A and B are shown apart, each in its own frame.
Chain A
Amino acid sequence: MKVKMLSRNPDNYVRETKLDLQRVPRNYDPALHPFEVPREYVRALNATKLERVFAKPFLASLDGHRDGVNCLAKHPENLATVLSGACDGEVRIWNLTQRNCIRTIQAHEGFVRGICTRFCGTSFFTVGDDKTVKQWKMDGPGYGDEEEPLHTILGKTVYTGIDHHWKEAVFATCGQQVDIWDEQRTNPICSMTWGFDSISSVKFNPIETFLLGSCASDRNIVLYDMRQATPLKKVILDMRTNTICWNPMEAFIFTAANEDYNLYTFDMRALDTPVMVHMDHVSAVLDVDYSPTGKEFVSASFDKSIRIFPVDKSRSREVYHTKRMQHVICVKWTSDSKYIMCGSDEMNIRLWKANASEKLGVLTSREKAAKDYNQKLKEKFQHYPHIKRIARHRHLPKSIYSQIQEQRIMKEARRRKEVNRIKHSKPGSVPIVSEKKKHVVAVVK
Chain B
Amino acid sequence: MNVNQVAENLALSHQEELVDLPKNYPLSENEDEGDSDGERKHQKLLEAISSLDGKNRRKLAERSEASLKVSEFSVSSEGSGEKLVLADLLEPVKTSSSLATVKKQLSRVKSKKTVELPLNKEEIERIHREVAFNKTAQVLSKWDPVVLKNRQAEQLVFPLEKEEPAIAPIEHALSGWKARTPLEQEIFNLLHKNKQPVTDPLLTPMEKASLQAMSLEEAKMHRAELQRARALQSYYEAKARKEKKIKSKKYHRVVKKGKAKKALKEFEQLQKVNPTVALEEMEKIENARMMERMSLKHQNSGKWAKSKAIMAKYDLEARQAMQEQLAKNKELTQKLQVASESEEEEGGTEVEELLVPHVVNEVQMNVDGPNPWMFRSCTSDTKEAATQEDPEQLPELAAHEVSASGAEERPVAEEEILLREFEERQSLRKRSELNQDAEPASSQETKDSSSQEVLSELRALSQKLKEKHQSRKQKASSEGTVPQVQREEPAPEEAEPLLLQRSERVQTLEELEELGKEDCFQNKELPRPLLEGQQSERTPNNRPDAPKEKKEKEQLINLQNFLTTQSPSVRSLAVPTIIEELEDEEERDQRQMIKEAFAGDDVIRDFLKEKREAVEASKPKDVDLTLPGWGEWGGVGLKPSAKKRRQFLIKAPEGPPRKDKNLPNVIISEKRNIHAAAHQVQVLPYPFTHHRQFERTIQTPIGSTWNTQRAFQKLTTPKVVTKPGHIIKPIKAEDVGYQSSSRSDLPVIQRNPKRITTRHNKEEKL
A: residues with CB less than 8 A from B are 26, 28, 30, 33, 36-37, 39-41, 43, 76-77, 79, 165-168, 170, 180, 182, 187, 189-190, 206-211, 223, 225-233, 248-253, 268-269, 292-295, 335-338, 369, 372-373, 375-377, 380-381, 383-386, 445
Contact = CB atoms under 8 A, between A and B. Distances in A.
Interface in B724-760: 724-733, 741, 743-750, 756, 760
Contacts of A76: 727
Contacts of B706: 28, 30, 33, 36
Interface of B: 125-126, 128-130, 132-133, 135-137, 139-141, 143, 147, 150, 156, 158, 678-682, 685, 697-699, 701-708, 712-713, 715-718, 720, 722-733, 741, 743-750, 756, 760, 763
Contacts of A292: 158, 727-730
Given A230-B125, A292-B727, A377-B703, 9 more contacts: A207-B143, A232-B136, A233-B133, A269-B141, A292-B728, A294-B731, A369-B713, A373-B712, A445-B126
B705 A182 contact: no
B745 A170 contact: yes
Given A28-B708, A252-B143, A372 B718 contact: yes
B722 A338 contact: yes
A269 B140 contact: yes
B681 A189 contact: no
B750 A385 contact: no
B685 A189 contact: no
B698 A165 contact: no
Contact of B158 (A26, A33, A293): A293
Given A28-B707, A335-B728, A383-B681, A189 B150 contact: no
A125 B730 CA distance: 21
Contacts of B143: 207-208, 250-252
A317 B161 CA distance: 29
A119 to B, nearest CB: 10
Nearest to A182: B750
18 contacts: A30-B706, A36-B699, A36-B706, A40-B702, A167-B745, A168-B744, A170-B746, A180-B747, A189-B756, A206-B730, A226-B746, A230-B129, A231-B129, A232-B136, A248-B728, A249-B731, A335-B729, A375-B716
B762 to A, nearest CB: 12
B679 to A, nearest CB: 6
A385 B723 CA distance: 33
Nearest to A74: B727
A385 B129 CA distance: 51
B133 A232 contact: yes
Contact of B156 (A167, A229, A293, A369): A293
B149 to A, nearest CB: 11
A207 B716 CA distance: 32
B104 to A, nearest CB: 41
A189 B749 contact: yes
Nearest to A354: B722
B730 A37 contact: no
Contacts of A248: 728, 730-731
Contact of A230 (B128, B150, B701, B728): B128
A223 B139 CA distance: 15
A336 B685 CA distance: 33
Nearest to A229: B747
A208 B728 contact: no
Nearest to B681: A383
B652 to A, nearest CB: 26
Contacts of B746: 168, 170, 182, 189, 226-227
B136 A189 contact: no
B718 to A, nearest CB: 5
Contact of B132 (A33, A190, A230, A372): A230
A196 to B, nearest CB: 13
Given A209-B745, A233-B129, A293-B156, A166 B730 contact: yes
Contacts of A207: 143, 730-733
Contacts of B125: 230
Given A251-B140, A384-B681, A445-B126, A376 B158 contact: no
A250 B679 contact: no
A190 B731 contact: no
A176 to B, nearest CB: 13
B133 A249 contact: no
A423 to B, nearest CB: 25
B702 A386 contact: no
A30 B707 CA distance: 10
A167 B137 CA distance: 21
Contacts of B679: 41, 384-386
